[in-house]
Chain A
Amino acid sequence: MAEHRLLTEHFGMEGIQTLAGYERAGGYQGLRRALRELTPDDLVAQVKASGLRGRGGAGFPTGTKWSFLPGDVHPRYLCVNADESEPGCFKDRALIEGDPHQLIEGTLIAAYAIQAPIAFIYIRGEYFDQRLLLERCVEEARAAGYIGRGILGSDFSCDVIVHGGAGAYICGEETALLDSLEGRRGQPRLKPPFPAVKGLYGQPTVVNNVETLSNLPHIVLRGGSWYASLGTEKSKGTRLFCCSGHIERPGTYEMLLGTPIRELLEEECGGVWKGRRLKAFQPGGGSMQVLLPEHLDLPLDMEAVAQAGSALGAGAMVFMDETTCMVNVSMRLVDFYHHESCGKCSPCREGTYFESDLMHRLERGVLAPEELTTLSDICDNMNGKCFCPLGDTATWFVMSAYAAFRDEFEAHCGAGRCPVREPRAAEAVA
C-alpha cells in the first residue's frame, strides 16, 4: 500500500473521538513533551528543522511564519483555519472527524510555541456537527487540564475557542478570517501589515491550517529531523489528498510526498470509474489549473506540480473521465467564484459576474466565437489585479481549460447545446 499513515493512523479507531480513546492511542504526549522539555524557541526551531510547510494552500514554511512575530508584543493569537471551502476539499473535515484531539493537541503546541493565551478554531458554518464535535473535545481536554490555566502544571495557559463561520469561502483567506472572527464582514485586509505583525484585534497573530497543526504532535515526539527525512527535498512529510470525481473510491488518502500521482489514482482511488479513461484532473482544489493524463507521473511535490503549471494547493484531487465537458466544469467553478466573491474589489466583483455570464452562454451553446476572446481578455484583466487571490484564481481553471481544450470551447460557440454531452445532436448538425 502506498498510503503512509501518520496523521490518519488512528482514523476509524474505536473511541478516537473521545479523550480517553485518544489518550489510549498515545495522545497528548506531544504536548506533554513540549511543555516539559522544550522552550517555545526550541519548538520553533524543531518545526523549522522539520521543513513543515503550510497545508492551507500557499505552502509557506510554518516555523518561519512563527518566527515573524515581533519579539515583545503581547498578547498574540493563534487562529486555526478550519474554514475549508475550496471546491474539492474535505481533508480538514476528515482530520476533524477522524482524530479531533490530534488537532487540539497540535493547536496547543502551536499556541505554546508562539505563546498565545487564546487559540481560535475558525470552522466553516457548514461543518455543523464537526463544530459540535470539536467543542465537545475542547471541553473534555479542558476538564483534563490540557486547556486552561497552567496546562499540565506548567506556567503556560491557553484557552481554545471554537468559532463557527456562516457560509463564506473567502473567510478561509487569512485576513478575511480575522475580520470575520472580529465580527465583521469577512473581507480580506490590506497587507501590509501582515497578521504576524497586526492580526486579530491588531495583535500579532498566526493563522495555520488544520492539517498543518495536526502534524505538530508527531514532529514534537519524533523530532524535526525525522520529519524532514520524509518526502522530497522541498515537500516534507505526508499530505492528505482528498480525491473526488470520476474515480472508483473517492476519499481522503494520506500520501508520502513525492509519490507519483498515478499511484494515488490507481492504487488508492481504484482508478477511473466504470473502466473509463481519464480526461483531465485538477490537483489542488477549485483554484488550480487543469492537468492532463500525461501529468499523472508527476510526483506529489509542490515544486514539480508548479512546474507543470498548476499547484498542489490544498490537496484536493478532482478527476474527470472522458465524458466530462470541460466547459461545464469551468462554468461550475466560475459560478463558485462569482458566488463567493466578497465584492470588495471591482475586478473580482464585476469580473466574476461577467465571466459567469459568458460561461453560462457558452455552456448553453449561444456564445459568439469572438466572445471567447472577451473571456480571455477579462480573465487577463482580473488575474493579478484583484485585491486578493480569490479573484485571480477565479480565472486559473477556466483559462487553463480553455488552453488545453480549445476545440471543445470553440465547438460550444453557436452550437445551441453542449457538443460533449449531446454529441449525436452535434453530429447530426455537422
Chain B
Amino acid sequence: MSVLSAATRAEVERHRDRYPQARSAVLPSLWALQNQIGHVSPEGMREVSEILGLAPSEVEAVASFYAMYLDRPGGRHHVLVCVNVSCGLRGADDIVAHLERRLGCPSGGTSADGEFTWEHTVECLGACGGAPAMQVDHHFHENLTPERVDAVLEAVRAPSARAGGDRS
C-alpha cells in the first residue's frame, strides 16, 4: 500500500518536473506529504525519494533539518507561539502559560481531545509588529491576549471555522 495518495503523488511529480534538477523538489514534496498525512513518515519519505530519484536517507536528512516538518502525528490543529525578543517584550510568556493551562499539556504536546498540538518557537515568526503572535495551522494571529487566544482556538475548533489570517 502506498502512503502517498494519487493526488499527492501527482503533486510531487509536478514539483519534480518543475525544477532544473529534481532534487530541488524535496522541500515542496515533503510539504505535500505532510499536508496529506499530517507529518513526514519514513514510508512517505521513501516514496518521495523514489519519485525524485534520491536515496531515502537523503530525504530524511533534509526533512529532519527543518523545524516545520513534523516527525510524528499530532493534533488536528497546530499552534505555534513565538517567544523571541519582540514577542517576549510584549508578554509572550503569558500567552505560553495560558496555552499550557488551556490545552493541558506542555509545549510539544497534544491536547487530550486531540484537537491541538502546540509548541513555542524560539525562531522569530516575523510578526513582531503584532507581538505577541502565534500561528494556527500556518495562519498568523497577532496582538494576542489570553482572551483572543481562546477566541481563535474556539473559531478553529468550530466546523464553520473560516480559513485565512486575522491580523486585527
Contacts and interface: CB of A to CB of B under 8 A. Distances in A.
Direct A/B contact, Cβ within 8 angstroms: yes
A318 interface: yes
A329 B85 contact: yes
Contacts of A90: 126-129
Contact of A336 (B68, B84, B89): B84
A333 B123 CA distance: 9
B67 A332 contact: no
A243 B128 CA distance: 8
A125 interface: yes
Given A126-B68, A286-B85, A332-B122, A181 B24 contact: yes
A88 B86 contact: yes
B99 interface: no
Interface in A168-195: 168-169, 180-186
Interface magnitude class on chain B: 35 or more
Interface stretch (A25-33, A61-69, A157-165): A157-165
Interface stretch (B13-21, B100-108, B110-118, B150-158): B13-21
A340 interface: yes
A128 B128 contact: no
A86 interface: yes
Contacts of B20: 75, 118, 201
Interface in B3-28: 18-21, 23-28
B85 A201 contact: no
B85 A87 contact: yes
A166 B85 contact: no
B28 A246 contact: no
Nearest to B59: A183
Contact of B129 (A185, A186, A251): A251
Given A164-B27, A318-B85, A86 B138 contact: no
A332 B85 CA distance: 6
B89 A166 contact: no
Contact of B27 (A89, A165, A329): A165
Most chain A beta-carbon neighbours within 10 Å: one of B25, B69, B129: B129
A243 B62 CA distance: 34
B130 interface: yes
Given A124-B126, A126-B125, A165-B66, A87 B19 contact: no
B84 A87 contact: yes
A182 B28 contact: no
A27 to B, nearest CB: 24
Given A126-B135, A244-B131, A252-B129, A87 B26 contact: no
Contacts of B18: 161
Contacts of B159: none
A201 B20 CA distance: 8
Contact of B28 (A163, A168, A186, A243): A163
A251 B142 CA distance: 12
Interface string A355-387: 000000000000000000000000000000000
What 3 A-B pairs come out closest when comparing CB atoms?
Answer: A167-B67, A128-B138, A183-B26
Interface of A: 75, 84-90, 92-94, 118, 124-129, 161, 163-169, 180-186, 201, 242-246, 250-252, 282, 286, 316, 318, 320, 324, 328-329, 332-333, 335-336, 338-340, 342
Given A118-B20, A126-B126, A184-B23, 4 more contacts: A164-B27, A185-B62, A329-B88, A339-B122
16 contacts: A87-B124, A88-B128, A129-B139, A129-B165, A165-B66, A166-B69, A167-B69, A184-B23, A186-B65, A242-B129, A244-B86, A282-B85, A318-B86, A329-B88, A329-B89, A333-B84
